Structure 1
Amino acid sequence: MLLGLFRSVADLTARDLRRALDLVHEWNDDDTLPTLDGLGRLVGCDTAGIIGSDHVARRLTSVHITRPERNLLGRPGFVAAVAHHPAFTAYRSGRLSPTSSVALTDLEDRRSLLRLPLYADFYRPEGTVDQLLRVVRLNGRRGSVVVFNRSRPSFSRRDRAVVDLLAPHLSQALVRRERLAALVAAARHATLVSEQATRSFARLPELTPRERHVAVHVADGSTDREIARNLGISPRTVHKHLEQIYRKLGLTNRAGLAVLINSTSVDVPETSLSPQPD
């Protein structure tokens, strides 16, 4: 791997390396999805994108491209056509290496490409003659690939060297963004749960004595039938009480009610233990 890296660097000029370093700094300083505009200009292409794919089902899961109007994912027939992308076949046969870039014209000759609906009906009308691909994330089923579309055939050793040099840094930026997004989502969820719990706690006095007793039984893990038997009412009435409890407290299920009741102290009047008519 190191030998390949040294060979790649040898194909780059000092100016290429300075621009590559600037991109790495940009990706490290920005916690959003890494922009590919600079990398696309460095490679020399018409459009660049990060493509998420399910390589087992042979389908795309996401497309982020430098020119959104050229995003083909929503075009009729594209999803079916992309399942026959030569990269999927190359991955299965081991010709698509996760550690080096490969051009579309490396995988298929021009005559074979022209017979592909993906190429003839979608790529060519958009002006894409060749495409450079590099895997940046990969697991047993899903992967992320950075792609560069060009209106002329072939990519040089220098183009490939640029992509291979920066791909690991792009992968790290994607991982960092995903972890940050997960952390932000968890924090937002925790905040929402806390705010909902505060609102629900403030509404506890709105419950009737019977509703409070039902709520305590729910928190103890009792079923509707067990609560009905303990209170001398029907399961249907228990269900109605629960509907009113959920509405008053802004809850949606037994689990939320149980957490709320177990985290506080609910006063249950002794008179609520006596059977009441439905």
Structure 2
Amino acid sequence: LERLGALITKTLTRAPREGHPPPRLVETPSGMLNAVGLQNIGIEAFLQEKLPALKLIRVPVIVSILGESVEDVVAMTSQLDRADGVAAIELNLSCPNLQRRSGLRAQGSGPGPHPPAQSPEPLMVAQDADATSTVVSAARAATNKPLIAKLSPDVTDLAPIAQAAERAGADTVSLVNTFRGMSLDPATRRSRLGVLTGGVSGPAIRPLAVYRVWYTAQTVRIPVIGLGGIVRAEDALEFFLAGASAVAVGTANFANPRSPLQVLEGLTRYLARHGLSSLRELQEAIQHA
């Protein structure tokens, strides 16, 4: 694991969360649908029980957080700012399984797709430029550590959201998170999940993710972390060719926990085979082609 650039934790909340009822995972063609519901032990327990062990791995630890209010975001960011062994903080602005809370999302603003007032699917922070700016600004004021804004693909135009995060002080944007999805069983006429909707991930979303990374990289000056369906080195290369400065592997770990290392090894072989010293050299060659 020490060969990896960093480890990103599952998203933490201020208080522990039990998550959604089962089933939480459903296999889909070339991917999966999940509705875990942010099950986690809470940030306090993480700092006391989990972080000490992660520090022993000697790889940078990026802690992902999601707040139900701006106050939550500030409190958690402040805790992580003081914590030894936290290399960076990821603001999860795009989880599709959190009910709408006051103080985070501005009604009817921003370019994202806004559900009707009575819609059971509430807006996410990452679907609203003003809300994104509010959360990132609050976190920025609470830490000097690098801030990553993780964005949702479920918007009409990612540019205003990414630019809002950049202006508010994010050092990096990360995309894409899962796409909102649903799977219904004709036999039972019910959701195959324990709740109605979940997040779609895996190879099926990769072409959509690569496009969004390419598009976003044209609109911001800060680095872009690309993710979404990476299984092999060739998949990761697509994201680098699209303008990503780094990539992350998520769903592939369910089937093969060694997949991040295998992706890294494949990238190393690719560079050697093509006489390149770094991925940056590859990207520069493309820019001047």
Q: TM-score, normalised by structure 1?
A: 0.22
Rg (Cα) greater in structure: 1
Higher relative contact order (CA 8 A, sep 6+): 1
Q: Which of the two has greater helix per residue?
A: 1
